[in-house]
Structure 1
Amino acid sequence: MIDNEDGEDANADNIDEHSEESQPIIRRTRVVLQRLGPSQDGTPETDNPFGGREPVPEAVNALEPEEQSTSQNNNTQNEIITIDTPTPPKKRKRLSNVSKKAMGTPVVGETRSNDDDEDDGMTCPICLDTWEMSGDHRLVSLRCGHLFGENCIRRWLAESQRQTSIKSCPQCKTKVTTREIRYLYAKRVRAIDRSEEHNMRRDLEVERMRSKALSMELATEKLDHTLTANKLKAVQMDYDRLRLIVRAGRGAGELDNECGLKSISQLASHRLYMEKNIEITREPGCRVLLFSATHKTLLASQKSAQNLFPGYGVRFIDLPSFRPTQFVHTSAQLVRDIACSESQHTLTVASREVRIKSFDIRTRLSNVSFTAHDKQLWSCGVDREQREHYVYAGDLRGAVYVFDMRFPDNILSEYQAIENFSPVINIAAVRTSKTFPSGGLLVCQLTMVKFYDNENDTATPTRLNVEGPFLSVQYDALQDTVLISARSNAQYNKSRFILGQLVKIDDTPVLKITATIFGSTATPYMTRPTQMGVEDNSLVVGYLQDTKQLMMYDVRREERVQTMPINEVVYDICPVNTAAGSYLAALTDNKCRVYKVNSTKAN
């Protein structure tokens, strides 16, 4: 090395004393200066790590590269190491131009221009040296996901525990242990930055949901327009009929008979009469009621009366005598939902546990159970016709799981919630029809009702045009109608019983509402109404919680036809059709009230 007139190295412009490459040289030079002692002839000085300034001997400056290296190695052995002495960083290996281009971290849609970042993902953040596939400096990771060389992270954790009594990640300070060091088998780690693509996908999904909501709103407006046009047409027909009556001077009944129409006065009237009051159990806890026409039995959930088998189960009530018979223990928690498959002779029970159980109605024995990732299952349902083997389960977070009775250990499909994560309280399978050739699935959550169309074997969810919060949903396969029970909200100050039919407008499923019946102002209990098909008419029966009355509504007459006082809360109502006639069963906390449905035809 040659000194210039100012006593400085001629190649000083090519060496940056703050660079990583120059730090080890400067450190060793200082150690050599310390060993040689201070200069007396006014040679250039340098910083002394032990305090003060020391001159740089010319002997050191005049060393040849090989001699300087030998001197540095000899003096390094005599270097004094203290606790405060920082660990000298290892020299970082430079990558060739080819390796830089091949092993850099690519960014989607961006050209890398910073050479210092081109080898990110290939070097240990502790020693800044490239990690290896084997040996002491092989690639490892911690549970937080950060990558290091093995010997570096082990030394770091040991030193961290010695100084702070806590082992932590050097990058995120997460508490870790030596057991959490995991070997990674990769020659190099390259992370492609797709954040822009993911943001675009997220925006696209938001736009799709917005477009779907607008399509649903448009279909609802078209449906309202169609209903309004039909009402206008009906009013016009009534006007024309009344004008004919006035001109002909005849009665309205005579004209209706000629036209083949039935007036309201000619419709049959229906009344409920108390038949029996059955005590199912002395312990409160009855919640769900279901009728099986094939097996001619009524199923009611109840609390177990046996101390040997605590919990809840299902009581079988024989028909037509309405006599309680066998009790089947089902779960330790309160029974939340029951579904019955007439063709498979199975009874499925959900009770807010991690599994739903299926029983054989004929033998009263459990034959299979279903689980879904250890999630609490609130509701259950079974399908019909070509999909009669399918069982549905709804969980606490709004997801629906599809099982096959023949393969209970596997989940066929999962319908995860996207925008609404309230519990699924009811599931009803919709039969095939001209509108829905593959059928569908009604899913009722606490705050929304969705319909899954099984078209092309892919269930597509659509939020129905009804505002919640909701109490229940019921589907009548014979009438192809849907009955939804909703609580009061900001728009309606009373609860509602909404009767309608699923239709399609512009390939969008919507609920065509035929009747809206207003109920209680307050609904503190989860109760379920029911619908009954009587001749060419429909009856809706529900419990009014504020007035403690059982109400029956005639859809054709568009009015309440009967109310009956009941001091107990009616949690569920179920129609029962037998050879002896039509009945209505109402389930309270520990009893089952049976009402006879009498129909009187007008003369």
Structure 2
Amino acid sequence: MMITLFQPLILACGVSCRTYLRMEDMEVEVAPVSSEASVIFSLTLLSSVSSQPVSESEDPVAAAASPAGEAEADEGEGETCSICFEPWTMAGDHRLAALRCGHLFGFICISRWLTGGGSKCPQCNKPAKRGHIIFLYARKLKALDNAEEVRLKSRLELEQGSRRMEQLEVAQCRQQMQLMTDENSMGSKNPILKMWKAQAAFGSSQGASLSSSQRQDSSSGGHYVFSKAVLVSQTGGSRVLSYCEPLGCLLASQPSPQATLVPGFGVKKISTATLKPSQYVPIHSKQIRGLAFSQHQDSLLLSAALDNTIKLTSLMTNTVVQAYNTGRPVWSCCWCHDNNNYIYAGLANGSVLVYDTRDTSTYVQELAPLRSSCPVVSLSYIPRAASSMFPCGGLIAGSLEGGCFWEHVEGTTYTPHILPLESGNCTDIQVEPDSRHCLVTYRPGRANPSLRCVLMELSRTPQTDSRQPPVCSCSPVQTFTAGSSCKLLTKNAVFKRPAGEGATLVCAGDEATNSTMVWDAGTGALLQKMPADLPVLDICPFEVNQSSFLASLTEKMLKVYKWE
């Protein structure tokens, strides 16, 4: 049968009919279709064709084959009925409906198709009946291409598995390193084993170098050996560390272990004889930022906290015996080693308050900042000494803007001297009173990308003119560099080398590697690099029974090393 007028009908039914087309005579073989359906489709499509004439200049084949035509066809697949090629609606007779097989149609079209004699889906020829029609509620349907999402999820799972394996390997390596350190410590305590190891090392590996945690100068004659690790706070929060010589115990600040019953902050005692924590002493309501002892050996602990107070606590009775309200958060504190009746509090506004322990009412002097109002992050008192270079005593106050030496003239009279330090990066200043040196720590900056500890020599110009007062200053002697990270205000240390005949050691925490670094102040050589679990916050050297130790504190753990 030759078709011309009913060609749209055949195109409409082509999805469900067996058709054979030849370009020469357009011969079509069509399966029987009900008369009612044929009339419906013919009228619909004929009206569509008559209302939209095609211009002679347009090529329908080229238009359909063009990318724009393909895009429009793809776009229309999600919006039109496959029977009448008209958009379906959200309401009315031509609302969106579907069969059980999942194909979409206008309700009136598929309903008439099935009631007019059709018993199969026009799309896939699966059996269907009118009771299978269900309504759908959607403005537009499109299949979401989630192949990229599935691929990325698969890669994420692989990366997470690889990371877990790497973390497990790191944990195993740390455990092996700790075991080796413990074995070395045990071997050093056993004289016979120590001698055997020394002979074996001399015979087989004379030129072997020490590991990173045991490096030392050949002429030093000693190094620190790991002794024990003590858990201070399970939840973290430890900050500062100090040593009480009369009681033979270390004190580490921490939040209350029973916060619901006894809220606040205090210190935990750690016996240096057994290296075990003994008891917790509650002191402040907010975080403790400074701990200090006097030279009177009276077991009185001076503490500074962010609760606007400094307090004196008797460690004999574990009770607070005196409290001073400073009116502002306190960042640091120290004793006056020329007169133990005076104590100092470094405030958040840059001022230093001087208190007399014999006067319980208020402070006796306020040392106002000469430059900016940055918090006083460190306070150290250097006593008077018979030194030609620096005989005077006084208070060294450090802040982010630099340092100031408050010369203690007499009583409550102080003369300020601005120290020539870098501005904006100073995080800590510690003193070594015997050698009249101070250690200044600078955090990384644009000019210097690494943490630097600069050893400074304090000096005082002689007074040649009565009208010109002497000037106290400092000059750099040695610089020590560490990692490129310094987010915490770590307290470092400078102290005499054990049995070193005047030599000095510099010790600092390195956040980049979570370790404690020890340098020789004279040569600038790195002697040791001792690993830690977290960034080191405070370092405290101490002596017990003529043996020298070094303690390093993180927010959870305390590690003790013995000099051998």
Q: Which residue of 2 aligns with 1:284?
A: 236
Shift of 1:450: 0.6
Going from structure 1 to structure 2, the CA distance change for 1:588 and 1:265 (only over 3 Å counts) comes to closer
Q: Distance in 2 between matches of 1:323 and 1:464?
A: 41
1:266 and 1:282 mapped to 2: Cα distance? 40
Task: State the Cα RMSD in Å.
Answer: 2.0
Aligned to 2:557: 591
2:457 corresponds to which letter in structure 1? Q
State the partner residue of 2:13.
none
Q: Structure 1 residue 595: deviation in Å?
A: 1.0
Is 1:563 equivalent to 2:519 in the alignment?
no
In structure 2, the partner of 1:89 is: none
Please tell me whether residue 574 in structure 1 is matched to residue 537 in structure 2.
Answer: no
Percent of residue pairs identical: 26
Superposed CA offset, 1:129-162 (max 9, x none)? xxxxxxxxxxxxxxxxxxxxxxxxxxxxxxxxxx
Distance of 1:478 and 1:290 partners within structure 2:
19
Do residues 326 (structure 1) and 287 (structure 2) align? Answer: no
Shift of 1:270: 3.3
Deviations 1:161-187 (A, max 9, x none): xxxxxxxxxxxxxxxxxxxxxxxxxxx
Deviation, 1:389, is: 0.7
SS at match of 1:410: coil
Q: In structure 2, do the counterparts of structure 1 residues 490 and 504 end up closer, same or farther at CA, with 3 Å as the change threshold?
A: farther
Question: How many Å apart are 1:571 and its aligned residue?
Answer: 0.7
- The equivalent residue for 1:381 is 334
> Are the equivalent residues in 2 in contact too, given 1:532–1:538 (CA < 8 A)?
yes
Structure 1 residue 271 corresponds to structure 2 residue 223? yes
CA distance in 1, matches of 2:277, 2:437: 31
Inter-partner Cα distance in structure 1 for 2:429 and 2:273: 27
Correspondences of 1:497-576 after superposition (within 5 Å)? 497-506=453-462, 507-534=470-497, 535=500, 536-576=502-542
Q: Which residue of 2 aligns with 1:300?
A: 252
Deviation by residue 1:497-517 (Cα, 9 ceiling, x = unmatched): 122231112521111322111
* Aligned-residue offset at 1:437: 5.1
1:40-82 superposed Cα distances (whole Å, 9 cap, x missing partner): xxxxxxxxxxxxxxxxxxxxxxxxxxxxxxxxxxxxxxxxxxx
User: Which residue does 1:439 correspond to in 2?
Assistant: 393
Partner of 2:406: 452
Structure 1's 322 and 420: CA in aligned 2 closer, same or farther, altered over 3 A? same
| 2:436 aligned partner | 480
* Cα shift at 1:456: 5.0
* Equivalent of 2:310 in 356, 368, 373: 356
Shift of 1:379: 1.6
Match of 1:370 among 312, 315, 324: 324
How big is the shift at 1:265?
A: 7.9
Contact kept in structure 2, 1:445 and 1:470, CA below 8 Å: yes
Shift of 1:323: 1.7
Which residue of 267, 280, 305 corresponds with 1:314? 267
State the TM-score, normalizing by the size of structure 2.
Answer: 0.56
State the alpha-carbon separation in 1 of the partners of residues 432 and 317 from structure 2.
27
For 2:312 and 2:220, locate their aligned partners in 1 and report how far apart those are by CA, in whole Å: 41
Q: Is 1:342–2:295 an aligned residue pair?
A: yes
Amino acid at match of 1:498: V
Q: Which moved more, 1:332-341 or 1:463-472?
A: 463-472
Q: Residues 299 and 316 of structure 1 are in contact (CA less than 8 Å); yes or no, is this contact kept in structure 2?
A: yes
How far apart are residue 438 of structure 1 and its match? 5.2
1:179 is aligned to none
1:431-480 C-alpha deviation (Å, 9 max, x unpaired): 01235555100111122111001125521111111214222222233443
Distance in 2 of aligned mates of 1:266 and 1:564:
18
Instruction: Kindly provide the CA deviation profile for residues 373-409 of structure 1, in whole angstroms up to 9, marking residues without a partner as x.
Output: x222222111113x11101111111001100011121
Aligned AA (2:336): D
- Structure 2 counterpart of 1:472, which letter? D
- C-alpha distance in structure 1 between counterparts of 2:370 and 2:279, whole Å: 42
Q: Aligned with 1:409: secondary structure?
A: coil
Residues of 2 paired with 1:277 and 1:265: CA distance? 26
Query: 1:351 Cα shift?
Result: 1.2
TM-score (norm 1): 0.53
1:462 alignment partner in structure 2: 417
Say which one has the larger Rg: 2
TM alignment of 1:52-71, pairs within 5 A: none
The residue type equivalent to 2:512 in the other structure is: D
Per the TM alignment, residue 590 of structure 1 is displaced from its structure 2 partner at its CA by 1.3
Distance across 1 between alignment mates of 2:485 and 2:256: 31
- Checking the alignment, whether the CA contact within 8 Å between 2:295 and 2:340 is kept in structure 1 is no
Structure 1 residue 369 displacement after superposition: 0.8
Instruction: Give distance in 2, aligned partners of 1:294 and 1:515.
Output: 34
Alpha-carbon distance between aligned partners in 1 of 2:560 and 2:230, rounded to the nearest angstrom: 8
What is aligned with 2:65?
none
User: In 1, Cα distance between the equivalents of 2:217 and 2:433?
Assistant: 29
Deviations along 1:522-577, one digit per CA (max 9) or x if unpaired, are 21122122123122211112121112232111123321122233341111111121
Measure, in 2, the Cα distance between the counterparts of 1:513 and 1:408. 41
**Partner residue, 1:413:** 365
Alpha-carbon spacing, 1:296–1:480, altered in 2? closer, same or farther (3 Å): farther
Deviations 1:224-261 (A, max 9, x none): xxxxxxxxxxxxxxxxxxxxxxxxxxxxxxxxxxxxxx
- Read off the aligned partner of 2:550 and give its amino acid letter: L
Distance 1:477 1:332 in 2: 33
The residue type paired with residue 491 of structure 1 is A
User: Are the equivalent residues in 2 in contact too, given 1:437–1:455 (CA < 8 A)?
Assistant: no
The answer as to whether partners of 2:217 and 2:527 remain within 8 angstroms in 1 is no
Contact 1:473 1:485 in 2 (8 A): yes
Q: Is the 8 A contact 1:294 1:342 kept in 2?
A: no
Supply the distance in 2 between the matched residues of 1:380 and 1:425 (Cα, whole angstroms). 9
Question: Which residue matches 1:255?
Answer: none
**Aligned pair in 2 of structure 1 residues 525, 515: CA closer, same or farther (>3 Å)?**
same
The residue aligned with 2:448 is 492
- Assess if the C-alpha contact under 8 Å between 1:531 and 1:575 holds in 2: no
Q: Matched residues in 1 for 2:532 and 2:556: separation?
A: 14
How far the C-alpha of 1:580 sits from its partner, in A, is 5.3
Give the AA of the match of 1:459: Y
In structure 1, give the amino acid aligned to 2:506: V
CA distance in 1, matches of 2:371, 2:316: 41
Structure 2 runs not aligned, ≥5 long: 1-215, 463-469
Change (3 A) 1:532 1:417: closer
List per-residue Cα deviations over 1:335-377 (Å, max 9, x = no partner): 11111113143111111122111111222211111123x2222
